[in-house]
Amino acid sequence: MNFGFTTRFAPSPTGEMHLGNAYSALFAYKRADKSRGGNFLLRIEDIDSSRCKSKFETSILVDLEWLGISSDTTIRRQSEHLDDYALAVKKLKNQGLIYPCFCSRSDINAINNAPHKSRITVYPGTCRNLDRSEIVDKISVGKNYSLRLDVKESLNRLGKITWYDRKKGLQAVKPELFGDIIIARKDTPTSYHLAVTVDDHLQNINLVTRGDDLEPSTGIHRILQKLLGFSEPEYEHHKLIFDNDGERLSKRNKSATISSLRSSGIPSYQLIEALLDGNDERLLDLLDRTAE
Ligand code: GLU
């Protein structure tokens, strides 16, 4: 009998692995509860070919091995599964829920920089109601476009959507937080949201764990799951790891890379314990030792 979960760690190989990533990986590994039959899977989220590098994937795998973590199945690389995403795009297209968006990044940034900006840019729907001839004209002069989901219409059809968060209980999806999200980017025939939703389904993930910063994405993924007829996983969003100045430990904080901690000679079990028992003092002490 399997009383564990199937969880995953899904890093994007855009830099060295840092403490926050290690915590995320350990969290998902622990939640899989392998002693009760759970599975832990690894997925490389490498659809952004301009930012993802195979050298970073290699270093992430070395770091995970040092942390004693490995995938229970073959590692899934998103760049090798573009057909799966194309099929999902087609399904959404057939439902009449997708439209081309010709807005550039600077158009969107202009919205973001407007006075009274909110932290999250919500696409205002500029291209939602373009008529057919306008679309044909833009495409015929070679304008690139992304594909967006008509979220309002999706919710009209689906009704109220929720997700189950293991810590917070039932949560309602709040579409005003994200608006019409991108389903396929201009340069890639998928987006983060679509690829994650399809992969979690195909990898039979029944507990999605990730950082609090990605919580707003969960509502988007629930809408896509419903539209695509996928089953619903449970969710758990975990805390982010902070450094001395209260700043999120990120790839910018060099001292916090796992490879620097490894080469400083600390045993991996010390880092694992410090991360998992939530003892910030212990963690900061380890960081200080690498800085010496
Ligand atoms: N690839 C994402 C990241 O590295 C995580 C995606 C997810 O867990 O849904 O932040």
- Please determine, for residue 31, whether its predicted confidence score (pLDDT) is greater than 60: yes
Question: Is 272's C-beta closer than 6 angstroms to any atom of ligand 1?
Answer: no
The rounded distance, in Å, linking the Cα atoms of 110 and 121 is 10
Residue nearest to atom 3 of ligand 1 (CA): 11
Q: Beginning with the edge strand found earlier in the chain, give each strand of the sheet holding 39-44 in spatial order.
A: 6-9, 39-44, 76-77
Mean pLDDT of the 211-237 span: 96
Question: Is 181's C-beta closer than 6 angstroms to any atom of ligand 1?
Answer: no
Of all residues in the chain, the percent with pLDDT exceeding 70 is 90
Question: Is 15's C-beta closer than 6 angstroms to any atom of ligand 1?
Answer: no
The rounded distance, in Å, linking the Cα atoms of 288 and 281 is 10
Residue nearest to atom 6 of ligand 1 (CA): 10
Radius of gyration for the alpha carbons in the chain, expressed in angstroms and rounded: 20
- Please determine, for residue 251, whether its predicted confidence score (pLDDT) is greater than 80: no
Residue nearest to atom 2 of ligand 1 (CA): 11
Q: Label the pairing between strands 39-44 and 76-77.
A: parallel
- Identity of the residue numbered 244: N
What distance in angstroms lies between residue 206's CA and the mean position of ligand 1's atoms? 16
Question: Is 210's C-beta closer than 6 angstroms to any atom of ligand 1?
Answer: yes
Tokens 């949560």 correspond to 171
pLDDT tens, position by position, 50-89 = 999 999 999 999 999 999 999 999 999 999 999 999 999 9
The rounded distance, in Å, linking the Cα atoms of 271 and 38 is 24
The rounded distance, in Å, linking the Cα atoms of 121 and 177 is 8
- Please determine, for residue 280, whether its predicted confidence score (pLDDT) is greater than 80: no
Instruction: Give the domains, in start order, of the chain with CATH numbers.
Output: 6-79+203-291 (3.40.50.620), 83-193 (3.90.800.10)
- Ligand 1: atom nearest CA of 221 is 9
Question: Is 274's C-beta closer than 6 angstroms to any atom of ligand 1?
Answer: no
Question: Is 236's C-beta closer than 6 angstroms to any atom of ligand 1?
Answer: no
Average pLDDT over the chain reads 90
- Ligand 1: atom nearest CA of 209 is 8
pLDDT tens, position by position, 264-277 = 888 999 999 989 98
Tell me, what's the pLDDT at 120? 57
Of all residues in the chain, the percent with pLDDT exceeding 90 is 72
Strand partners, 242: 248
Q: Quick one: which H or E segment has residue 171?
A: strand 169-172
Tell me, what's the pLDDT at 278? 77
- Ligand 1: atom nearest CA of 45 is 1
What distance in angstroms lies between residue 90's CA and the mean position of ligand 1's atoms? 24
What distance in angstroms lies between residue 232's CA and the mean position of ligand 1's atoms? 18
Q: Do the Cβ atoms of 100 and 135 come closer than 8 Å?
A: yes
Question: Is 11's C-beta closer than 6 angstroms to any atom of ligand 1?
Answer: yes
Range among 47-51, 241-245, 254-258 with highest mean pLDDT value: 47-51
pLDDT tens, position by position, 196-206 = 999 999 999 99
